[in-house]
Amino acid sequence: RLDCVKASDQCLKEQSCSTKYRTLRQCVAGKETNFSLTSGLEAKDECRSAMEALKQKSLYNCRCKRGMKKEKNCLRIYWSMYQSLQGNDLLEDSPYEPVNSRLSDIFRVVPFIPVEPVPKGNNCLDAAKACN
């Protein structure tokens, strides 16, 4: 799955995707008056058409990574897509890629070894020794 910044760049290089993506961004920003369409209903149809077309592109399934260089830009792109597609409802989906934490895997596989209480010493050091 592409991150939203790369997916956006990829989309902007494709003429059909670029046009639909720009239309969608205008819809999200509420700039329907810039469409040069005769009525609000036509503008809504144009927005709906752009959303449907973008569902077929990688931009639709994009995600962000925590701490990535362009995280804020990635999140802006993600939410511009999903606010328009979901009608501003709160989503259960996260804009972030799922994280497979090696630490949680270690704790699941390796049982905790009880350490005898030591009256004097460094508990952190003792715990680290127990893990090794």
Query: What is the tens place of the pLDDT at every residue in 77-124?
Result: 888 887 765 554 445 567 777 666 555 555 555 555 555 554 577 777
- 24-45: pLDDT as tens digits: 888 877 754 455 444 577 778 8
> What pLDDT does residue 73 have?
93
Give tens-digit pLDDT for 50-80: 888 888 888 888 899 988 899 999 999 888 8
Residues 6+ apart with CB under 8 A from 32: 26, 40, 43, 44, 47
Structural domain spans, the chain: 4-86, 102-131
Sign of the four-CA dihedral 74, 55, 44, 88: negative
